[in-house]
Amino acid sequence: MIQFAYLFGANDVIADGVTFSDYARRGFFELVAVSCLTLGLMLVLDKLTLRQSTAQHSIFRVQSVLLVLLTLVMLASAWQRMSLYELAYGFTHLRLFTHIFMVCLGALLVFGLLSVFRVRQHIFSFGILLVIIGYAVSLNILNIDNYIASHNIERYQAGEDLDMCYLSTLS
């Protein structure tokens, strides 16, 4: 419920005196903590619990899906927080890396569910490998400095401030 309030009531939270950086940072670290707990809990319980009937398997899978869906709500909330932060202050390397990381985290949650559903043996390990490769490839394919500069210049043309000192550090 708290994450839904943050997701849909961000302007109210910002108006209450919380800075954009605190708002975004808190959302991101909450997301990482809960995602690690979700993945760990789901995968450990999948290995340790004894489910003898089809009904028990179904109940466990439904609960796993619900757990991942609620975590994805947190992911959407953290994405929204970072987007608001970028709208207010522009793009930086760290903010862009954070967005890419959130996409990878969402993919890991999906691979965790695929593991619970036994889609394929070692699917979670394969998913971790794909996510790591995807993260590295996306950072190499995306010209990060150009992306940051072009989006910050677009913001400037729309009437926002431009951090020339930061832009001068880009390649």
* Start-to-end Cα distance in the chain: 43
The pLDDT value recorded for residue 61 is 94
Query: Could you tell me the pTM of the whole model?
Result: 0.81
Q: What is the pLDDT of residues 69-87, one digit of tens each?
A: 999 988 888 888 888 888 8
Q: How many CB atoms lie under 10 A from the CB of residue 79?
A: 19
Task: Give the position of tokens 């987007």.
Answer: 83
What is the percent of the chain where pLDDT is above 90?
Answer: 51
Q: What is the pLDDT of residues 102-115, one digit of tens each?
A: 999 999 999 999 99
Least confident of 3-7, 21-25, 61-65, 132-136: 3-7
pLDDT class for 130, splitting at 50, 70, 90?
A: very high
Task: Give the position of tokens 């609960």.
Answer: 63
Q: What is the pLDDT of residues 17-67, one digit of tens each?
A: 667 677 667 767 778 888 889 999 999 999 998 889 999 999 999 999 999
Please give the mean pLDDT across all residues of the chain.
86
